[in-house]
Amino acid sequence: MFISRRQSTLTPSISVDGKTLDLTKEINILGVQFDNQLTFTSHVKDVAKRAARKLACVRRISHLLDSRGCCMLYNSQVRSLMEYSPLVWSSCPPSFLTLLDRVQNQARRLVEFKMRENDRPVYFQSLQHRRDVAALCVFYKVHQQNSPHLATLRLQPEVPSTYNTRNSHSRSHELHVPFARTQTFLRTFLPKYSRMWNQLVRETDLQLLTSLQQFKTAVHLWRLQYDFG
């Protein structure tokens, strides 16, 4: 597969041992479909389609379940499918990510339909919120816990400020954000979430927490203010 975002009509010829290889526009690697422009649109559309089919199966047996049972099946069988390796393909255009949100909205309506008067309301976290929390947890493991298997994701610290500012105390924890020339690259993991990490350390001291579980819980609450703000 020849990967390029250039709008070129020239198709390269790739040979190995004198044999010309057939080029393809997509390839599946460990369950993620990579296209030749790295947009991941076909992957997200396929995931949304498979998730909708699974949700349809839950709907068919919903007469045997209460609202809690429907929610449990959605979380284990449908949402888990939509959250497989999300930090790889989360750079997909937002218009395609809404396909996943539609599936969750259908699940939410199903659960609400099955609720009784005395049932406790069920809160559905947005899928984007869950992706943001997961990504910041990865940054925490990379830069605070120094996880060796994630060493290739490590970014250089931001250049120290030469003068005192309101955020000088957090400068040592800020990271150098990779330069992004296009919106597509800006949505990818390192550029997008290094910016969010820097915002986190400027507004809070959550990066100083000593355990990943404490950090995850605190980041969840921190991001909620932007979801509902």
Residues spanned by the domain of 57: 17-124
3-state secondary structure of 90: coil
Residues 154 and 58 in one domain: no
Residues 25 and 118 in one domain: yes
Residues 116 and 153 in one domain: no
Q: What is the sign of the dihedral through the CA atoms of 64, 66, 72 and 73? A: positive
Q: How many domains does the chain have?
A: 2
Residues 114 and 178 in one domain: no
Q: Could you read off the pLDDT of 148-198 as tens digits, one per residue?
A: 999 999 999 887 655 555 555 566 789 999 988 888 889 999 999 999 999
**pLDDT average, residue stretch 115-140:** 91
What pTM did the predictor assign? 0.86
Q: Which of 124, 152, 178 is the last residue of a domain?
A: 124
The reply to whether 136 falls in a domain is yes
Q: How many CA atoms lie within 13 A of 157 on its CB side?
A: 10
Give the Å distances, CA to CA, from 25 to 42, 44, 155, 183: 11, 16, 31, 22
Residues 34 and 106 in one domain: yes
Q: Could you read off the pLDDT of 5-43 as tens digits, one per residue?
A: 777 667 778 888 989 888 888 999 999 999 988 999 999
